[in-house]
A = this chain, B = another copy of it.
């Protein structure tokens, strides 16, 4: 049976700041014999393994599964899900454990399916600019394997996440402004459904009008409708020329306005990232860099040598008009890698600002014309809160992150962090934005999803009930049924 929990699933004590699980009413012990037989030593219910799979990098309390399996292929995932379906126990997929909204926590216990050993690149077609990978292949692993083909896969969340996990959370990253998010770059999926059946969605044709877009439905469904086991991805030719730059601004408004104008004139910038002064301080310390602590854009241009030069010149004009200057160019691979590596590690850099603290890593996305207002209002709310909270983001998409670093032992700080994170979402929603540009809903943003989408959430519930009638697929995530 599905374990019965009283809601709320977790709460942060208002007096001690400690996080506590609501008491589970366990109806019966699961007999794991069938899974032990199939998976052998790739099944574990040891405390250490369960604990490892029940901890997030952000502020969520531990929610360990009752057992973990490590399948090697789709058939084994199907067998595991089939078992859970028969037993009526919850099943939660696990990639690299780097998602930020508790997306993989075992909120109802049950079985965790760790896909990290499904790490095979199954097929690369350089001619068709596509590939198919098992869900556990990470983005860096794929790009390493692609290195000699002249191709690359652009979607790059901060962590070296698994591509199955990235599909599940509709991840994006620094390149999305040019190359799109997982929504645009997943061509097809293999999915294990709640009853253990296997389907293939989409396909290898670049476009299709054949039936409902199930690929799009499963991308971003966070394992609540099925478990993604294989992903067919678009690839891109490595650009002939790449040039990266750091551009300093006197004011946040100047930096953001430069971004807005860059997008509005249609400059095909590959990356355009904003870091506020506190974020610069954090990466200077963590990644041993020496950037001036001011509102800063990290940029990258892709194209032909002439095209890159043309783009850089156009951007230079926009930047100058908005008080930007003191360009630092990084044209060699080593400097570029160091720059983006520092950018990708901001989450850890921010945690290092206050050792021992926890973080709420929230992200919102607004129409680009509202970006300046949204960031300024957010900055004021942060200042009013007195919290340590750098702003960093994929501003070319209107998307930015705030990492709220707080002391979990201080009830007051914890409460202020929670209040501030709610405020940040409310500011973005009031500007026709989304409560999450790329982290997903997970456990933490279910109420915001309802605020953002209203009656449409009931349609999501209908789909959830239709595809997962017993409610075993990553329960308590995205929507409450």
A6 within 8 A of B: no
Contacts of A369 in B (CB 8 A): 125, 127-128
Instruction: Give chain B residues whose Cβ lies under 8 Å from the Cβ of A204.
Output: 367, 432-433
A129 beta carbon closer than 8 Å to chain B? yes
Q: Which residues of A contact B (CB under 8 A)?
A: 125-130, 169-172, 176, 180-181, 183-184, 193, 197-201, 203-214, 216-217, 219-221, 225, 236-237, 260, 263-266, 304, 306-307, 310, 365-369, 397-399, 432-441, 445, 448-449, 452-460, 462-463, 465-467, 478-479
When the two chains form their complex, are residues B212 and A460 in contact, meaning their CB atoms are under 8 A apart?
yes
A211 and B128 contact, Cβ closer than 8 Å, known pairs A206-B399, A266-B237, A466-B466: no
Q: Which of B236, B440, B459 contacts A214 (CB 8 A)?
A: B459
Question: Contact at A398–B210, with CB atoms within 8 Å?
Answer: no
CA–CA, A462 and B467, complex, Å: 7
CA gap between A368 and B129 in the complex, in Å: 9
Asked whether, in the complex, the Cβ of A449 is within 8 Å of the Cβ of B210, the reply is yes
Q: List 29 A-B contacts (CB under 8 A).
A: A125-B367, A127-B264, A127-B367, A127-B368, A170-B209, A183-B213, A198-B455, A199-B459, A204-B432, A205-B366, A205-B398, A205-B434, A206-B367, A206-B368, A206-B398, A207-B399, A209-B436, A209-B437, A210-B434, A211-B220, A211-B441, A212-B220, A214-B460, A216-B216, A217-B463, A237-B265, A462-B466, A462-B467, A465-B466
Name the residue on B nearest A453 (C-beta): B211
Q: B213 to A217, Cβ gap below 8 A? A: yes
B203-A434 in contact (CB<8A):
yes
> Are B209 and A441 in contact (CB-based, < 8 A)?
yes
Of B200, B207, B217, which contacts A365 at CB under 8 A? B207
CA–CA, A307 and B184, complex, Å:
25
CA distance A169 to B437 in the complex (A): 27
A212 CA to B208 CA, complexed, in Å: 20
Q: Beyond A211-B460, A264-B127, is A199–B454 a contact (Cβ under 8 Å)?
A: yes
CB of B368 within 8 A of CB of A176, answer no
Q: What residues on B are CB-neighbors of A217 within 8 Å?
A: 212-213, 216-217, 463
In the complex, chain B residues whose CB is within 8 Å of the CB of A170: 208-209, 213
> How far is A266 from B151 in the complex, measured between Cα atoms in Å?
10
Q: How far is the CA of A365 from the CA of B210 in the complex (A)?
A: 10
